[in-house]
Every structure is written in C-alpha cells, then in structure tokens.
Structure 1
C-alpha cells in the first residue's frame, strides 16, 4: 500500500512541477528559518549553562540608596557592582556558603615580553577560588594555586599565543604597564562565547591587595562583583531569611541592601544594572519565537491554499477511485502521505540550507553560535518528526476536503469548489498577509528607531573627537599638561582635554553630600566624571548656571565642583541656578558647587540622563586624552599625532579610537537585532508571496476561457490584469487594517527598552501597506499579464 501511495505521490509531484516547487521551496525556507531561529534562541538561553555547579551558583546584587524615599527597592534599583567587604562577611556568617569568589571591573594593561608588547583589555583581578566555582578549563598550570600569589596572571589561550606562540609559558615573566613583573601561572581555554564573562586574563586578587589594601575594608567603595557557591542540599531561601540581621551587623547605612540572583538567570532575566558582561533581551526571544511560528503558519497556509485550490484537477481522480470502491479514509491517508512526502523533502532541503544559514546568522547577530551539540543524530530525528507533524497539520484539511467529493457530481462534470473552501482560502490569505504587513511595519519601526538614536542630539560634540588611551600610565599622568600642549601644537588639532573616562564608558558612583534647599547635607550616590579644566569647553557642553573650572581660580582644583541638571534635581533644586554656591563633600574633598551643565547623554539612549558630578581630576586619576581635530585631512593629522606621541610617551603605544564609533557601539545589539528581524521578515514575506504566486497562477488557469471571451469582446490587457488582481488586493487591504493594532502593541513593547524613542504614527502603516500592496500586485500581475496576453483562439478552441 505504501509503495502504491508513493508511486501516485511521485507522479503527482512530477505532473505539477510548478506547484510542487512552490510548496517544497516555501516549506524548506520556512523549516530552515525555524531551525535557525531555534538555534539562535538555544544559544541565547545557553548563557552560563556550561558551569558544572550552575544550580548552586548565585551572585549578590546591591542597592546603595537607589530607591525612592520610604519605598522598597525595585529590581531595577539593584546593581551587580558592589563592595569588597561583602564577600568575606557572607562567607563568615552563612554556613550554607561553600565558596565565595569576587572579581573587579575589567582593566586594560600593557603586556610586554621582550620586543612584543600590546595593550590588552578585559583583564580581571580575581579571587583564587575562581576555578573551584566556575568551570573554566586550564591548559597549563594548577588551577588550585594559579591565583594565590601576588603578581600572578593566568592568560587565555588566545592571549598566550600572541605572546608565547604554542609553548608552555608557566613560570615566564611579563612586564605589565612598564612597572611590574608578573609571573604567568596558568593558561586556560578561551571563555565560551555563550558566557557573561568576556575576560582575556585573570590576575590574582592578592596583587590588588598589594596595590590598594585599604579598599578591601571599605563598604562604601564600589568596584567588586560577588558570586556564591552554595553547599549541596542548601537553599538560597535560608540566606534570604537571615539577610536583615546580616545587614544590621555589618552596615549601618539603612539605604544599603542586598539580594541574591541565580547565575543562570543573569543573562536574560536580570534587571540589575552594572552587569559584568553582555545581557540578552527576553522580549527579543519572544519576538523571534513568534516569527518562527508565523513563518511555519504561512508555509502551511500556502500548502493548504494550493491543495484546496487544485481540487478541480483531482476531483475526477477522487470520483473514479470512489466508484472503484476506495474508502474515504484510504483516500485521506493517500493525500496525507503526499503531504508528508513533500514536507520530508522540504526538511532535507532545509537541513542543507541551515549550515550556510548559521554563518549568515552569526554575521547578522554579531555572535559566535554555540551549536556544536546541536547537530546530532537526535536533531535529525527531531527535524524529521517536526516535518511529519507539519505534513499532517498542513495536509489534514486538504485531505479531508478532497476525500469528501461526491463521485456522481464529479464524474458528471457538475462539481465546483464550495463557497466554504473559497472563503477559507480568503481567510488564510488575509491571515498570512496580516503577519507579513505587521513584520514590514515592525522592520520600518526598528530602523526608524535606530536612525533616531544615530541622529539624536547628545548634548556634546562626538564627531571628529579622537580619544587617546593611555590607561593610567604613570609617566603620561605626571606630564599630562606637557603631553597636552605637544598634541595641541599640531596644526590639525582644535583643542585637547584629559579625563578619567569619556562618554559611553563605564562610570563609578560616588557617595556625595550636597547641601539641600533646607540647609542640611543630603548624601546620595550620583555618577562621577573626573575631568580637567579643558573638558567641558572641548566637548562643547553647555552651562545653564554658574561657570566652568578655570585656571584663574586657585581653589577650583581642590574646592569646587560642577554638576548636571539631573544632579541638581536629585538634591532638590528645580532651578539649577539655586544649586550654585551650595556646599559639597565628596571622597574627602569639600567645597562649593560653581556650575551646572545642561543634561547631556553621556550614556546609552536606552537610559535617561542620570545625576552626574563633574569633579576636577588630579593627574594620577586620568586615563584618556580627548583631541578635537579638524576633518579636512584626518590621516595626516593622525600621522603627526603618532610622531608627537612617540616623542612625549615612547613607553606607551599610540592607541586611539574615535568617540562617535565607540559611543555608537552601545547600540550594536540593537543594530544586530534589526538585521535579524529584517532578514526573517523578508523571508516571511517571500514565503507569503510564493503562496500568492501559486494561487494567482492557478486562478488564472481556471479563468483562461473567461479571459479569452473577454478579449474577444474587446477587453484590454490592463482591464484583465485588474480583474484578476482586485480580489487579492482587497484581501491585502483587509490584512492592513487587522495588522495595525497587532504591530502597534508588539513594537510599543520593544520600544519600552529605550528612554528616548520614536512614537508610532499612521505613516509607518501607510508605508508598510504601500510596500505590501506593491509586492502583492507585482506577484499577481506577472501571472495576470501572462494570462491576458495569451491568444484567445488557443483558450477557446476546445469550446
């Protein structure tokens, strides 16, 4: 019986090559998209799942007075970045904790071995317990002792190969920042791509204790991440229950509190700020899941539409089989077998498409996919099972519909498709184009938002701003004014400033007391920039009250502070001018506020402008030199600056980047999302158009004699094209109306992640509608014109 089914199915596929090609192509693209989206979601959900002890791993999040007065802190008030004393205190007070590991914010250091030297970023000061807690594989060295001694460094495989090629470097010395010799105590495998940790090397925390021992006792110094490994058969709830007593014993600040967060939730489910690495977006996962479902629905709808539309062609076959005694159930199974055969063929093609598709998805997403375990025999079983299920779902209605024909009516030639089947086809066309229009509109909204971010006025100059990275080099810091003057002397340079950080970079919080309107000192934790006299004018940051730092005032470097409007509001001053002259106390420095700058977007536009203090920075706190340059001959200016730098700072390589590029890098995840969204949206629309092409071709064939008669009676080609197209265009217009509220709701959810965002107006849907109508008309018109140009003698000669 199966052999018989297969022969009939194969003959039908070959007999109707065009329709078979459309069905197989649509299903194959749909399945390939589903597999690729599944792989992307699998990768996103796999972050930090590689740790063997992941079920017992937690991290501590902390609040430093971020909540509203009298209110409990919300999840967004917490930050992962915290203080050093917390870790040892937790270890001592909670017997449920097996290990505590802490590490600091990433550092960038100059590594040198002989003549080889380069600036290496993402180096972490890490506790010696790291390899007991996290599942990082050591290639050389002992993981138990690698991070115990001061001046020990563990390199990742990639960094080790740059310095030592393939030799074992354990025991070798590295010169770091032209100051200290570090001993390489280990080489580890590179951190997996699906990890929040993105470091290139680990330095023993005992090294930092040699540099700054005092910070390990300060509850107010924030630069540490704290992770916990619970003992087996213990629960985090027991720590939660004792948290209040713990805080009373160790910290008198009533605004300070902590929470515990499961490490495997960190990438997708955490709302805390100051993350140690990249984070994902759960809404994006939901959106791509919906797109995968939409794609398969549209592919299945195409199959159902074409199968029911072709009912006339197979009506006599069904009638003859029924007269010969074939049961309706057998006919149903025959048609279902044909459907499953098509979907299995599509599944095979889909798997062929997936491998190059992965390379494309990696490029569009900017991520290295962790898919090694994805392609296994079990995966092929799943795909085959999925294909069979799709074949059953897509073929069940056409099979039932075809097997239900009445043989007498069919064989007499009186059979016509019922109004019910025609109505169903129309509903399905409306449904698939509703999804297509929603995706087109969504794509327009995504790119309009990205363009808005690119063109939004930030409140400071970011173009033609060159940033020189010297990462706290002592000699550059000691001679910072000399270095600045040498750079400023070049003809292509407009102005020069120095600072601890530049817009778009990581900023610390600083506990700051400022005199409130009532006269009392109010202590909060705004962000802090450490800058020099030239920073504000170089960046063209506007003052709204008071004045900038000036060399004319001797006290400005020690007893003055500039804040932004948001900071003035934070301390109770709705009028910025009222904050000028008020007292402050910050990090051991006391004085008065001399100016208030206009709020500027020094961080991503995902975030509102936060309270900021711009503190005069002493040379030993500076890391960056900002150079505003002319745009007429940038390569020549860079060459001159390189020569000047080699003269004034020969110990430090000339490292630079442009501020607009580094600032816009904050939106790389959004740009990659836009590329992925557009890619899958285009494929969805292509699949929908394939179905529309097949359906319009069939309808044109069914009306070939009508077209011939109309041409004989004088109808024009354009009139016939319009006749054949108008029914489909009506359906597309109905789909536009349905798609508007659906898309508006979904994209407003996506836009909520931006503090600065566009509003969704009717123009978006007008554009999407015009595009969709144009695509639909072009798809239908090709077959309509082809049918209209046929000689009427050929179509009427059998009458």
Structure 2
C-alpha cells in the first residue's frame, strides 16, 4: 500500500509540474533559510561547551557603585582566587587570567605585535579543557618566564609544533621559554589567546590588595556543589577583606558586590567592562530563531494555500475515488504522501543550497561555520524530524479539507472552490504578509539606526585620522612625531593610546578634597594626553583651554568633560577648581590638580552607553600616534609615514588603522545583524510572493469564464485587473494593520539598548506598508494582466 501511495503521489505531482515546482522551491527556500539560522544559533549556544567541566565552571564578576558612578566589571582583586580555593569547601580549584597589554615578539629581524596574549596560572589546564600536544600541563606554567603557545602560533614562529624548549624573545629583551604547545582554542570560546605566559614573576601575582581590580577569576566547583550558596557568602567575604573601606563605601551610598556567572552564559549574557573577548547577545539568538520559525511557517502556509486553492481541480478526483470505495483515511494518507514527497525534495535542495551558501553566510555573519561529520550527527535526525513535521503540517489542512468532499456534491459541481470562500486561507495569507511586513519594518529601523550612528556628531572628528599603533617600541616616539608632523598635509599629531574608539581605558577615582572618602569621590576615566590631543581629535572646549607648552604649571592641571563637571557639582564654574587623585606611590598624600578647561562631551565608547566622566592629564603615553591629515592620497601618505618609521626603527613591525574604521568596528555586531536581517527579510518576502503568485494564477483560472463574460459586456482591462487584485490587496492592508503596531513595539524595545538612538520615523512604517502593497501588486499583476488580455472566446467556447 505504501508503494501505491508513493507511486500515485509521484504521478499527481508530475501531472501538475508548475504547482509542484513552486511548492518545492518555496519550501526549499524556507528550509535553507531555517538551516542557515539553525547553524548560527547552534554555534552561538555552543560557546565554551567544549570544556568537559563546563557545567561546573563559573566566572566571578564585580559590580561597583563608587563616587556616583555605577559600573560592572569582569575582573576581580588579585587575592580572591587563593582565598576562595583555600576557605570555601564548595570550590575544587580556582584559576586567574590577566590580559593587560600585547607583546612584541621577535621573528627573524623584526618584532611582531601580538595582541592575543594573556598571563595564566598552571591550574588553567585543570579547569579548562585545553589539551597540550607537547609539554606537561601540570608544570607548563609553574616557573617565571615560561609560555604555552597554540599550534598555529608554533607553526608561525618555528614552522613546526615541535617548539618545547625553544625561546621567544620580546622587544624588551625578555626571553620566554616555551614549555607547552596546545591545540588551537575552538572558535566557540569566550577567550581566544595564542600566548599563555606564566603569571609567576609578575609583581602583582602575589598581591594582597583587595582594592585593586585586574584579574579574571574562574571557579571550578566540586561535583554536586551549589554555586548559589557560595555566592551568598561573597558579601561577608568582601566586608571582611575591605574592612573600613567597605564601611566607608556603604555610608556614602555605594557598594562593592561580587557575583558569579556560569561559563556557558558568558558569550551571550555578559557585556561587562574588561571582557576577555567580544561577546554576542542572547537577544539576537531569540530574534533569529523567531525569524527561522516564521520563514518556515510562511513556506508551509504557501503549500497549504496552494493545495486548497487547487481544490476544484482535484474535487472530481476525490469524488470518483470515494464512489469507487476509497475511505477518507486512505485519501488523507494519499494527500499526506504527496506533501511528504514535496517536503523531501525541498529538504534535499535546501541542504545543498545551505551548503553552497555557507561561505557567503559566514562572510556576512562573521562566523566560521563548517558542515562536518559532527554536524551531520545532529543535522540528519533534526532534518528528518523537520521533514515529517513540515510535511504533515503543510499537508494536513489540504488533506483533511479535500478528503471531506461529499461525492454527490462534487460530481454535481456544487463544491465551493478557488480563492473565494476560503476564510482560513485568507487568514493564512494575512499571517504570511504580516510576518513579511514586520521583517521589512525591522530591517528599515535597524539600517536607520546604523546610519544615525555613523553620522552622529560624536564630539570629535574621526575622519582622515591615521592611527599608528605601538609607538612605545620606538627609541624616541617624540622624534617620530616631529618627523611625521613635517610631512605635507599633516595638520597635527598627538601621542596617546587613549583614543575615543574603545582603545585603552584607565578607570580611577578623583576627589573633591584631600581626604580619600567615597563621599567626595568621582569614579572616572583618567586619560594621559599631550598638548596636541584635543586639536588632533577635533574636540571643542566648553570652558577654559586645553594644555599648552607655554604654561609650565600645566603639569599639575587637568581638563575634564562636561559630564564630569556636572557630576562633581561644578556646573558652569569648574575652572580653577581643585581635584585630588592618588599619586601612585603607597602611603603618599593625594596629589592636587587644578581644572584649566572643560571639553565638550564626546562619545568615547559605544552609543549604547551614556557618556561617562573623563579626566585628562598632561602626561606622556606612547600607546599610539594619531595623525590628522588633509592628504587626498591616503595610500601614498601611509607609505610616507611608514618610511619615517622604518628610518627610526627598521626592525619594528609597522601597524596602523584609520580612526573611522576603528569606530565602525565597535558596531560590527549591529552591522552584521542588519545584513542578516535584510537577507532573511528578502527571502521571506520572496517565499510569500511565490505563494501569492500561485494563488493569483488559480484565482484567475477559476474566474476565467466570469472574466470572459465581463469582457464581452465591455469591461476594460484595467477593470479586470482591479477586480482580480483588490481581494489580495485587502489582505495585505489587513496584514499591515496587524504587523505595524507589533513591529513598532518590537523595534522600540530593540532601540532601548542604545543610549543614543533615533526614534522610529513615521515614514518607515508607511514606506513598509507601501512596499508590501507594491510587492503584492507586482506579484499578482502578471497573472491579472494575462487574464485581462486573454481572448474571451477561448474561455466561453465550451459553454
């Protein structure tokens, strides 16, 4: 019987090639889109799960309210790890990482800047699953000046993974002995380092300073231990360790809280300062999962609509089968067989399409997804389940609808067929286009916000600013700056690694008087800059002046931003006020500074966040040289700067970027989300239009004789087109009325994640509605015009 079902279904599908082709293409597009999104979601949810003890590993976080500022950090005090491991029975092991700056490693005759560098403890390998291919994990990082590197790094520097015992020479003439080579860290890790240097030997490694926050601390809990019980003990621990400082903080209305986060939550649920890598957001996982489901539903709706619209064509078939003795169950099985055959064909095409599109998808999404044997282990069962569910879901309504026809009514031609009378089908069309309109509005809002970000006045000018990195390796950074300043087209140049593009941060406290009391404090960014910084960055002054070589007293001067002036309570009277900050020496009184200027607020971090206080000091920092130029030929200009660099230090690697590119990189996640949204929206609209095209074709076919009579009686082509189109346009208008408010609410919620955002413009909603109507009209117009221009004799000659 099964063989007969398949044979009959196959013949029926071949008999209606156009219907079958459109159905298979629609489902294939929906399934391929769904598969790509599933790959993305599975990849996002798999972060850090390669660790065999992942369910027992937690990171300790810190929340701080100090001096009026609230901040959340992924770092903790240095002694925390040892204290937890030694005093809490729930803890099996603790390990620390500290990522403070990159290193320059000698390769041949030049030094290469390496940023993927972290200092680690030997217990790293007992907590995380980071297998070594060479060396002993138990002793690899126990001695000072030892290092473990990844396989790819070993090949880059030594052309082989046989690197244990060899030496890495840094630019400061420090040698690190390689004691281990580890496998490359999987892409699905919240940290991705190439160099793991031994913490042993660092001055702060044995520090007992609980007021210093610099280390990332991880806890491996014992099997069966309750992490929440340990978390409940952390406030008492901090109160004990900080003593009088903790009491002062509480009295001032501040707090210092530690909390723990599961390792597997970090990538999608953590966006703190001093993360070890760029994390994503669980929100995007939810959004794309919903899109996958909706696109698949649109494809299923197409199948259901087209099958029921063809009911007139198959009504007599059903009637004859019933007269000949076929049961309703048999007919249902027959129609479901056809549905499953279509779904299987679509699934095969979808897998091939997803495989072919994966490189392009990786490029857009910024992923490195691959279809491997492990992928097939979950993909094949999942795909089989999807085929069955989609096949039954898409074919169930047509099967039950068609099999319910009564033979007498069918054979007398009394069955209501076609587009008219299909209330449930109309509801499905409305649902289909409501989803499409929702996605169109969402796409426009995302691109509108990205455009707003890219063109917003940030309080500084990032155009045509060349940033030369790691200038500190030069013997004389000042000479390099002077040489660069002489290049034609250079307007100004500034030495400082503290740039308003998310590079280098130095949070610290300043005080209103000489007493280091939290009540008098402001927790702020402290940036060392030179006299040319404000000019190079194009920053404007609200009050006073910037630093100048003409004033020797500027060494004890500071410039603050408007937010700092407001939070300090100075208002418009900040000039000549005194501020105090630690001198950097233990047991020394606070150092006094006087305010000489208030710089206009500028966005130095993501536009998701409000502007926070900034205090600028006149101090040497060689992290980078920023060069403002009006040179039109940037390629030639970069070559000139590199020539100056090579003259001063020929063996040092020259590395640069442009400030506007660095700024745009901050919003790479949103840019990728926008591109993916656009791609999936386009596919959803195409799938919806395939269904609408077929419905329009069948509606025109079923009203063929009516059209012929109307034409004979004098109806114009435009009147015929209007008659055939208005029913569909009504459904699109209803879809718009449903989707518009839902999209407005949803995208308004998404925009709440930005401190600086553009409100949803009315024209975005209107344009989306008009776009949907135009798309729908264009889709059905081909069939409508074809029917309107046909010869009425052809449709009436059989009467």
Instruction: Please say whether Structure 1 and Structure 2 have the same fold, judged by a TM-score greater than 0.5.
Output: yes
1:526 maps to 2:560: no
- Give, in angstroms, the shift of residue 520 of structure 1: 10
Instruction: Name 2:565's counterpart in structure 1.
Output: 568
Instruction: Name 2:430's counterpart in structure 1.
Output: 430
**CA distance in 2: counterparts of 1:293 and 1:537, whole angstroms:** 52
- What is the DSSP-based 3-state SS (H/G/I as helix, E as strand, rest coil) of the residue aligned with 1:222? coil
- What is the DSSP-based 3-state SS (H/G/I as helix, E as strand, rest coil) of the residue aligned with 2:44? helix
- What is the DSSP-based 3-state SS (H/G/I as helix, E as strand, rest coil) of the residue aligned with 2:608? coil
Instruction: Name 1:483's counterpart in structure 2.
Output: 480
**CA distance in 1: counterparts of 2:701 and 2:450, whole angstroms:** 45
1:502 maps to 2:496: no
- What is the DSSP-based 3-state SS (H/G/I as helix, E as strand, rest coil) of the residue aligned with 2:798? coil
- Give, in angstroms, the shift of residue 87 of structure 1: 2.2
> Could you give the per-residue CA deviations for residues 690-739 of structure 1, whole angstroms, max 9, x where no partner exists?
10011101111112222222333333333322221121111111111111
**CA distance in 2: counterparts of 1:226 and 1:617, whole angstroms:** 32
1:578 maps to 2:569: no
**CA distance in 2: counterparts of 1:122 and 1:337, whole angstroms:** 55
Instruction: Name 2:604's counterpart in structure 1.
Output: 602
Decide whether the 8 Å contact of 2:310 with 2:418 is kept in 1.
no
Counterpart mapping for 1:618-637 below 5 A = 618=620, 621-637=621-637
> Could you give the per-residue CA deviations for residues 266-286 of structure 1, whole angstroms, max 9, x where no partner exists?
111235333221212111111
Aligned residues: 783
Instruction: Name 1:283's counterpart in structure 2.
Output: 283
**CA distance in 2: counterparts of 1:251 and 1:122, whole angstroms:** 33
Decide whether the 8 Å contact of 1:178 with 1:651 is kept in 2.
no
**CA distance in 2: counterparts of 1:296 and 1:555, whole angstroms:** 69
- Give, in angstroms, the shift of residue 771 of structure 1: 1.3
**CA distance in 1: counterparts of 2:158 and 2:481, whole angstroms:** 36
> Could you give the per-residue CA deviations for residues 720-760 of structure 1, whole angstroms, max 9, x where no partner exists?
22221121111111111111111011111211211111111
Counterpart mapping for 1:749-768 below 5 A = 749-768=749-768
Q: 1:596 to 1:217 in 2, by over 3 A?
A: farther
Counterpart mapping for 1:53-64 below 5 A = 53-64=53-64
My pick for the range that moved more, 21-30 or 252-261, is: 252-261
Q: 1:514 to 1:499 in 2, by over 3 A?
A: farther
1:547 maps to 2:545: yes
Decide whether the 8 Å contact of 2:466 with 2:658 is kept in 1.
yes
Aligned residue among 209, 212, 217 for 1:221? 212
Counterpart mapping for 1:740-751 below 5 A = 740-751=740-751
Decide whether the 8 Å contact of 1:546 with 1:577 is kept in 2.
no
My pick for the range that moved more, 152-161 or 683-692, is: 152-161
Q: 1:733 to 1:295 in 2, by over 3 A?
A: same
**CA distance in 2: counterparts of 1:107 and 1:566, whole angstroms:** 28
Counterpart mapping for 1:338-737 below 5 A = 338-369=338-369, 372=372, 375-417=375-417, 421-470=421-470, 472-473=472-473, 475-476=474-475, 479-504=476-501, 505-515=503-513, 522-557=520-555, 559-573=556-570, 575-578=571-574, 580-588=576-584, 589-618=591-620, 621-737=621-737
Decide whether the 8 Å contact of 1:486 with 1:644 is kept in 2.
yes
Decide whether the 8 Å contact of 1:472 with 1:623 is kept in 2.
yes
- Give, in angstroms, the shift of residue 46 of structure 1: 0.7
Decide whether the 8 Å contact of 1:515 with 1:521 is kept in 2.
no
- What is the DSSP-based 3-state SS (H/G/I as helix, E as strand, rest coil) of the residue aligned with 1:161? helix
My pick for the range that moved more, 778-787 or 215-224, is: 215-224
Instruction: Name 2:49's counterpart in structure 1.
Output: 49
- Give, in angstroms, the shift of residue 215 of structure 1: 8.3
Q: 1:580 to 1:727 in 2, by over 3 A?
A: farther
Instruction: Name 1:326's counterpart in structure 2.
Output: 326
**CA distance in 2: counterparts of 1:337 and 1:536, whole angstroms:** 73
**CA distance in 1: counterparts of 2:606 and 2:377, whole angstroms:** 44
Aligned residue among 225, 229, 232 for 1:234? 225
- Give, in angstroms, the shift of residue 521 of structure 1: 7.0
Instruction: Name 2:177's counterpart in structure 1.
Output: 183
* Unaligned ranges ≥5, structure 2: 247-254, 585-590
**CA distance in 1: counterparts of 2:514 and 2:109, whole angstroms:** 56
**CA distance in 2: counterparts of 1:215 and 1:581, whole angstroms:** 39
Decide whether the 8 Å contact of 1:496 with 1:625 is kept in 2.
yes
> Could you give the per-residue CA deviations for residues 271-328 of structure 1, whole angstroms, max 9, x where no partner exists?
5333221212111111111111111211111111111111111111111112222222
Aligned residue among 130, 142, 147 for 1:148? 142
My pick for the range that moved more, 686-695 or 318-327, is: 318-327
> Could you give the per-residue CA deviations for residues 636-674 of structure 1, whole angstroms, max 9, x where no partner exists?
222221121122233422221111101110111111111
Q: 1:323 to 1:349 in 2, by over 3 A?
A: same
Instruction: Name 2:588's counterpart in structure 1.
Output: none
Aligned residue among 153, 158, 172 for 1:164? 158
1:29 maps to 2:40: no
Q: 1:145 to 1:538 in 2, by over 3 A?
A: same
Instruction: Name 1:95's counterpart in structure 2.
Output: 89
Aligned residue among 121, 126, 130 for 2:124? 130
**CA distance in 2: counterparts of 1:373 and 1:753, whole angstroms:** 39
**CA distance in 2: counterparts of 1:587 and 1:289, whole angstroms:** 52
Decide whether the 8 Å contact of 1:577 with 1:596 is kept in 2.
no
**CA distance in 2: counterparts of 1:595 and 1:418, whole angstroms:** 77
**CA distance in 2: counterparts of 1:739 and 1:500, whole angstroms:** 48
Instruction: Name 1:9's counterpart in structure 2.
Output: 9
Instruction: Name 1:82's counterpart in structure 2.
Output: 76
**CA distance in 1: counterparts of 2:549 and 2:419, whole angstroms:** 87
Decide whether the 8 Å contact of 2:62 with 2:75 is kept in 1.
yes
Moved over 6 A (4+): none
Decide whether the 8 Å contact of 1:511 with 1:525 is kept in 2.
yes
Decide whether the 8 Å contact of 1:580 with 1:594 is kept in 2.
yes
CA RMSD of aligned residues (A): 2.3
**CA distance in 2: counterparts of 1:180 and 1:736, whole angstroms:** 67
Q: 1:563 to 1:674 in 2, by over 3 A?
A: same
Instruction: Name 2:307's counterpart in structure 1.
Output: 307
- What is the DSSP-based 3-state SS (H/G/I as helix, E as strand, rest coil) of the residue aligned with 2:33? helix
Decide whether the 8 Å contact of 2:631 with 2:637 is kept in 1.
no
Aligned residue among 195, 199, 203 for 2:193? 199
Decide whether the 8 Å contact of 1:99 with 1:129 is kept in 2.
yes
- Give, in angstroms, the shift of residue 434 of structure 1: 0.7
Superposition TM-score, scaled by structure 2 size: 0.94
- What is the DSSP-based 3-state SS (H/G/I as helix, E as strand, rest coil) of the residue aligned with 1:756? coil
My pick for the range that moved more, 337-346 or 440-449, is: 337-346
Decide whether the 8 Å contact of 1:516 with 1:522 is kept in 2.
no
**CA distance in 1: counterparts of 2:778 and 2:704, whole angstroms:** 20
- Give, in angstroms, the shift of residue 798 of structure 1: 1.3
- What is the DSSP-based 3-state SS (H/G/I as helix, E as strand, rest coil) of the residue aligned with 1:525? strand
* Unaligned ranges ≥5, structure 1: none
> Could you give the per-residue CA deviations for residues 522-570 of structure 1, whole angstroms, max 9, x where no partner exists?
123212211111111211211112221122222322x221111112222
